[in-house]
Amino acid sequence: MTNQDLKAELTENLDEAEWEWLIPHVQRDAVILVETRLDLLDVGVAIASDNLSEVQTWIDEALLTKPSETQIGEWNSDRTKRFRTLIVQPYVLVQEKVLV
């Protein structure tokens, strides 16, 4: 499968979710927080196609992280907070929705 095909397939999985819906995925340690300056689809394609060097660079630059206890605490106090989401098994990639 080409990256273009992969991107098209992942585009169909792009969604939005409230924090409340993501809690079970956080509890099983499957949520990866994607910095807002990265394109969620590009990250999904890199993970799904095992592009380890690109993914490792993002991890090293703290652009891909696990949610911190502080963030989880903030989100728990605002359970209607919304995220852009992309499922790339076994992970759920999330990106905070920036209010403009």
pLDDT at 20: 93
The pLDDT tens digits of the residues spanning 59-78 come to 999 999 999 999 999 999 98
What does the pLDDT read at residue 79?
79
Strands laid side by side in the 64-65 sheet: 15-18, 82-88, 91-96, 31-34, 64-65
Beta bridge partners of 16: 84
Q: Is the pLDDT of residue 31 over 80?
A: yes
Is 2 a residue whose pLDDT tops 70? yes
The pLDDT score that the predictor gives to residue 78 is 86
Could you read off the pLDDT of 17-26 as tens digits, one per residue? 999 999 999 9
Whole domain around residue 79: which residue ranges? 3-96
SS3 87: strand
User: According to the model, what pLDDT value does residue 1 have?
Assistant: 74
Say how many domains are in the chain.
1
